[in-house]
Amino acid sequence: MGTTQSGIHGGRLSPSDYERNFSDLHPRLDDHEALVAADRCYFCHDAPCMTACPTTIDIPMFIRQISTGNPIGSAKTIFDQNILGGMCARVCPTETLCEEACVRNTAEHRPVEIGRLQRYATDVAIAGNHQFYARAERTGKAVAVVGAGPAGLACAHRLAVMGHDVVILEAREKSGGLNEYGIATYKAVDDFAQREVDYVLSVGGIEVKHGVKLGRDFTLADLTANFDAVFLGMGLAGVNGLGVEGEHLPGVVDAVDFIARLRQAKDKAEVPVGRRVVVIGGGMTAIDAAVQAKLLGAEEVTICYRRGKEHMNASPFEQDLAASKGVMIRHWLQPKRVIARDGHVAGIEVEYTELVDGRLAGTGETGVLAADQIFKAIGQTFEASGLGALSITGGRIAVDAEGRTSVPGIWAGGDCVKAGEDLTVTSVAQGRDAAESIHRALAAAVQPAAAVA
Amino acid sequence: MADLRNDFVGIKSPNPFWLASAPPTDKAYNVERAFKAGWGGVVWKTLGEEGPPVVNVNGPRYGAIWGADRRLLGLNNIELITDRDLYVNLREMKQVKMNWPDRALVASIMVPCEEESWKAILPLVEETGADGIELNFGCPHGMSERGMGAAVGQVPEYIEMVVRWCKQYTRMPVITKLTPNITDIRKPARAAKAGGTDAVSLINTINSIVSVDLDNFAPNPTVGGKGTHGGYCGPAVKPIALNMVAEIARDPETYGLPISGIGGITTWRDAAEFMALGAGNVQVCTAAMTYGFKIVQEMITGLSNWMDAKGHRTLDDIVARAVPNVTDWQYLNLNYIAKARIDQDACIKCGRCHIACEDTSHQAITQFVDGVRHFEVMEDECVGCNLCVNVCPVENCITMVGLEAGTLDQRTGKPVDPTYANWTTHPNNPMARQAAE
């Protein structure tokens, strides 16, 4: 088949090319590499990396534990703050979080490899199935968690450890949320998302029901009636449209669906990709789609972003990754019209843009990019259905600092709330903190009886 | 170009860097390689008396401790003196000396503490053309159990006696190698001098257990489930060696006695420090065993460039230059006041100075200033202890600045006294001598 066959096809590459292209982006450090990397940590006091981490992992401590040959202790330090520390080590934009804050940058412009060290320690613990948490005595309280993504899993785990019984209600066939469906394949190889879910659930006390969706299969009222507390941890189900002519032609695809399909494909050759691919957008999703299109054998992949490089949501690291894989990133271009030939996508007309008085405007100058396939990656939206009286702000569920919604007994976290960045690690922090808040609320409810006794 | 030629008790070498008596100098093959690499001299690995040679263990002989990036900081060994036949060694020494007439070749010797033993071996060594002998009174393991090595070095009377025999039975210069495994290094040095030694060399290795194998609960290196104490050397022992060299250099009874400095010398700077404290030359082992013989080229060029930069022409310009500045604590100037200063441009904000000072010292470094993470010395709390300087990971970021006389010491609220005053006259000292009325 090859890379130059026009149209959208699978099997463009040899099996060994697929194997190589979708192998681990950053393989785990071996023991020696981990020791060398760990030696560079200064064990800062009140470390800036720790402050920069949304889950506030004690990074100097976990690295010191690696350097003293104690990776198991290191993993526990990580999991105490972030039970999904394994996936976060793979997908966190560390270059804009912990590693950006590393004091080594000041003197050497090269931070300690915190992300890779975190992966080392968590991999050792998960591979050995080291369990660090025993459930507290059962409280008799039951909590419903909607969504088995990072927020829901983190919340459920913390609640289970504290002795509550948890039921997770997940709309899709597998748990993990974006970890399972939304992460580029080469960042989470060897079915890591499912292995991590299994590891998290092995604490016990958590039942997961798949294929049940809020608003379709059950209502919020069902949950509040049957559980002592509810945590909403849904993701963003909606995808923004381009709003241009030809958007619904065959060959125009949501980037998130492409990424999910690729993740679920046992054989990557089964995933068809165009010869010439244009990705519209400037975030992580655009990069993940573009890079993987290239890795599937597309001859030409172009990202079109309507603003400048400095405005892209994708980190510089991700942009460099895309460039290194041969993806062309073009700025100041917005889609104008999808061009069809024989009922299929043949190209896209784009218009140059500029900032006029701080507002984006088309310059009137247009051009055409040939394309067999177009990926839409211009943002996802929260579909607020079945939420009844819950307050919504900015299109997402409104919560306070502890994750409490406007309705007593209902908490929320993750991408469905408007707080913090839409990152896995942020979702974990919100799920965990909501669990603590739920626990305090449930404990307060039983306190009078205890006080009398 | 600085002149690095060395004349140590009449033994000449093109530079002051000798290899110490140890595995690197056990045979001609190694010594030839060392001389090709540029070493100024060697002290051949210790010869024993004629007859069946000693045997070594056939398991591990070394243990170590490491710093960051597994950089070797301290090495310990349980190897004994040469386990090769005496005559093989003598033959090779003679050949090597013939091949390298401009290099120093000194024979280390350890035989039983009997006059006949020394009398027997000395002519054999002299016949090789060796430039001198070094008496191994230092080896702390194995041989000491047999009444040799440190067993001699720990008894000043024995040292004096053996040195006297050696001076009697050979014309070669005698260097007496001292063990650090004693309480006062001046005593063996004085004894060696009394016996007529031409020089002392120090330190030999330090009694040590380098680590414990926690799987088998046995000291490392573990030989068949058991371990024993070994001799410790390498960068970690340098401070101990420097002090002992200085003690001998400034002792009125041994003042001027030539010293060959040994103990953790790894760089030209280490060598210069030993020489500044009174060593006429230096001997190196662990650094060569860690990195190979090539390091001598760094030592030669480093020492030479530093001497050029400072205007020192010959080694005599630097040897013992720091000795007058080594004194007893009681004579340190208590009116000298220094404060730490943090270079904010160099600071990487790791916070280690703060936490070290806050947790373990004088609470004199800020963590926040106006709500911003900022590390700055509070001069009204700083006692000038230098801990922050030593824990800071960035060189020259924190420095100690001496206060000019007359400036206000914010900690005491008093101006800095320009006069020199030490503990001997301090009012808090019950032994302070009162000035005559």
pLDDT tens, position by position, A313-355:
998 899 999 999 999 999 999 999 999 999 999 999 999 999 9
Q: Looking at CA atoms only, how far is residue B364 from chain A in angstroms?
A: 15
Q: Looking at CA atoms only, how far is residue A432 from chain B in angstroms?
A: 28
pLDDT at A452 over 70: no
pLDDT at B351: 97
Last-in-domain residue among A66, A94, A127: A127
The class of domain B6-325 in CATH terms is alpha beta
Q: Residue A137: inside a domain, yes or no?
A: no
Query: By CA distance, what is A32's nearest residue in B?
Result: B69
* Residue B354 near chain A (CB below 8 Å): yes
How far apart are alpha carbons A305 and A309 in whole angstroms? 8
Residues 6 or more apart whose CB falls under 8 angstroms from that of A277 comprise A290, A293, A294, A298, A300, A301, A302, A371, A372, A373, A374, A375
Confidence of residue A407 (pLDDT cuts 50, 70, 90): very high
pLDDT tens, position by position, A113-130:
999 999 999 999 999 999
Same domain, A374 and A244: yes
pLDDT tens, position by position, B351-368:
999 999 999 999 999 999
Contact B348 A104 (CB under 8 A): yes
Question: Measured between CB atoms, which of A40, A45, A106 is closest to B354?
Answer: A45
Confidence of residue A448 (pLDDT cuts 50, 70, 90): low
Q: Residue A28: inside a domain, yes or no?
A: no
Q: Looking at CA atoms only, how far is residue A70 from chain B in angstroms?
A: 14
Residues of A in contact with B352 (CB under 8 A): 42-45
CA distances from A246 to A343, A344, B373 (A): 10, 9, 54
Last-in-domain residue among A356, A378, A400: A378
Contact B350 A45 (CB under 8 A): yes
pLDDT at B244: 98
Please give the residue range of the domain that contains residue A223: 142-237+382-445
Which of B211, B349, B350, B366 is the best residue to mutate to test the A interface, defined by the most A CB atoms within 10 Å of its own CB?
B350
User: Which ipTM score applies to this complex?
Assistant: 0.86
Q: Looking at CA atoms only, how far is residue A101 from chain B in angstroms?
A: 10
CATH of domain B337-401: 3.30.70.20
pLDDT at A451 over 80: no
pLDDT at B68: 87
pLDDT at A453 over 50: no
Contact B351 A44 (CB under 8 A): yes
pLDDT at B312: 98
Contact B367 A103 (CB under 8 A): no
What amino acid positions of B are annotated as catalytic residues?
Answer: 139
Q: Which residue has the tokens 């004629």?
A: B50
Q: Residue A10: inside a domain, yes or no?
A: no
pLDDT at B256 over 60: yes
pLDDT at A305: 97
Q: Which of A366, A188, A373 is nearest to A293 (CA)?
A: A373
Q: Residue A353: inside a domain, yes or no?
A: yes
pLDDT at B328 over 90: yes
- Start and end residues for every CATH 3.30.70.20 domain found in chain B: 337-401
- Start and end residues for every CATH 3.20.20.70 domain found in chain B: 6-325
Confidence of residue B150 (pLDDT cuts 50, 70, 90): confident
Contact B394 A36 (CB under 8 A): no
A-B contacts at Cβ under 8 angstroms: 36
Same domain, A341 and A321: yes
Query: By CA distance, what is A64's nearest residue in B?
Result: B68
Contact B373 A45 (CB under 8 A): no
Which of A45, A66, A102, A105 is the best residue to mutate to test the B interface, defined by the most B CB atoms within 10 Å of its own CB?
A45
Q: Looking at CA atoms only, how far is residue A124 from chain B in angstroms?
A: 21
Same domain, A396 and A432: yes
pLDDT at A206: 98
Q: Looking at CA atoms only, how far is residue A275 from chain B in angstroms?
A: 48
Same domain, A66 and A78: yes
Residues of B in contact with A44 (CB under 8 A): 349-352
Q: Which of B261, B195, B252 is nearest to B6 (CA)?
A: B261
Confidence of residue B435 (pLDDT cuts 50, 70, 90): low
Q: Residue A322: inside a domain, yes or no?
A: yes
pLDDT tens, position by position, B225-234:
999 999 999 9
Contact B373 A46 (CB under 8 A): yes
Same domain, A147 and A224: yes
Question: Measured between CB atoms, which of B69, B352, B394 is closest to A44?
Answer: B352
Contact B350 A103 (CB under 8 A): yes
Question: Measured between CB atoms, which of B69, B70, B393 is closest to A42?
Answer: B393
Q: Residue A29: inside a domain, yes or no?
A: no
For B:368-427, CB contacts with A below 8 A are 373, 393-394
Are A38 and A119 within 8 A, CB to CB?
A: no
How far apart are alpha carbons B264 and B64 in whole angstroms? 13
Contact A48 B373 (CB under 8 A): yes
Preceding omega of B182 cis (within 30 degrees of 0): no
Same domain, A281 and A211: no
pLDDT tens, position by position, A410-431:
999 999 997 778 899 999 999 9
Are A25 and A320 within 8 A, CB to CB?
A: no
The overall average pLDDT reported for chain A is 95
Torsion angles phi and psi, residue A139, rounded to 5: -90, -15
Same domain, A368 and A408: no
Query: By CA distance, what is B67's nearest residue in A?
Result: A39
Query: By CA distance, what is A33's nearest residue in B?
Result: B69
pLDDT at B437 over 70: no
Torsion angles phi and psi, residue B116, rounded to 5: -65, -35
Q: Which two tokens stand for residue B173?
A: 């210069």
For B:33-92, CB contacts with A below 8 A are 68-70
pLDDT at A14 over 50: yes
pLDDT at A383 over 80: yes
Tell me the H-state helices in B82-233: 86-99, 115-127, 150-153, 156-169, 186-195
Contact B373 A44 (CB under 8 A): no
The overall average pLDDT reported for chain B is 96
pLDDT at B434 over 70: no
Query: By CA distance, what is A37's nearest residue in B?
Result: B69
Q: Residue A55: inside a domain, yes or no?
A: yes
pTM of the predicted structure, to 2 decimals: 0.91
Same domain, A331 and A267: yes
Question: Three-class SS of residue A307?
Answer: coil
What percentage of chain B has pLDDT greater than the value 90?
93
Please give the tally of structural domains in chain A.
3
Same domain, A43 and A90: yes
Last-in-domain residue among A361, A378, A395: A378
Residues 6 or more apart whose CB falls under 8 angstroms from that of A61 comprise A74, A77
pLDDT at B9: 98
Residues 6 or more apart whose CB falls under 8 angstroms from that of A68 comprise none
pLDDT at A112 over 60: yes
pLDDT at B317 over 90: yes
How far apart are alpha carbons A49 and A47 in whole angstroms? 5
Same domain, A249 and A330: yes
Same domain, A368 and A269: yes
Residues of B in contact with A46 (CB under 8 A): 351, 355, 367, 373
Average pLDDT over every residue of A396-413: 97
Same domain, A43 and A69: yes
CA distances from A88 to A117, A150, B246 (A): 12, 10, 56
Average pLDDT over every residue of B264-276: 98
Average pLDDT over every residue of A185-214: 96
Q: Which two tokens stand for residue A404?
A: 């409490």
Q: Looking at CA atoms only, how far is residue B3 from chain A in angstroms?
A: 38
